Amino acid sequence: MEMPFTSADEITAMAAACFPLARIAATGIEEDVLDLVPWEPAQEAKALAARLRRGEIFEKGVLAMLHDLIGVLDAEIAEGTYVETYYDHSPENVSNETNWQEERLSPEADRLSNALVVLLELYATLAAVYDILQAEKALEGLRAVA
């Protein structure tokens, strides 16, 4: 199995990459999320953005807050997604299909999806760092016993 990293420096770099991602995510929350989600999730998102701005990305609860916000955004985007059906009965249409469908996002859902992309990247990177740290801790315990 090929590992995604080969040295402690790469793990450190991955952890360091979380800080600029956090600032970008905070901006995304402030610009594209707060005015488009219901009041209660907006308050949670506002608190998360403040923590991200302060660089508290490795503090307890941040990963859970990100997970919750991602779920809210996913639901809101799904609600703002609709299907447009196109019809073409013209004689120039030589295909067997006379209609087709295309998913579209409302402008609000499109804004939320922009923020969601950065939040997902931050979540994935943070989770990877947490997993690596947890694995190192488990290995230290095993080495102490051996």
Q: Is residue 8 part of a domain?
A: no
Q: Phi/psi class of residue 61: alpha, beta or left (left: φ > 0; alpha: ψ in -120 to 50)?
A: left
Residue 120 lies in a domain: yes
Residue 58 lies in a domain: yes
What is the number of domains present in the chain?
1
Q: Is residue 142 part of a domain?
A: no
> Does the residue 97 lie in any domain?
yes
Range of the domain at 73: 15-137
Does residue 10 lie in a domain region?
no
Task: Concatenate the DSSP letters of all residues of 19-67 into one string.
Answer: HHHHHHHHHHHHHHTTTTS-HHHHHHHHHHHHHHHTT-TTSTTHHHHHH
Whether residue 92 is contained in a domain is answered as yes
Query: 51-85 pLDDT, tens per residue?
Result: 999 999 999 999 999 999 999 999 999 999 999 98
Residues 8-33 pLDDT 10s:
678 888 899 999 999 999 999 999 99
Structural domain contains residue 46: yes
Please state whether the predicted TM-score (pTM) of the whole model is above 0.85. no
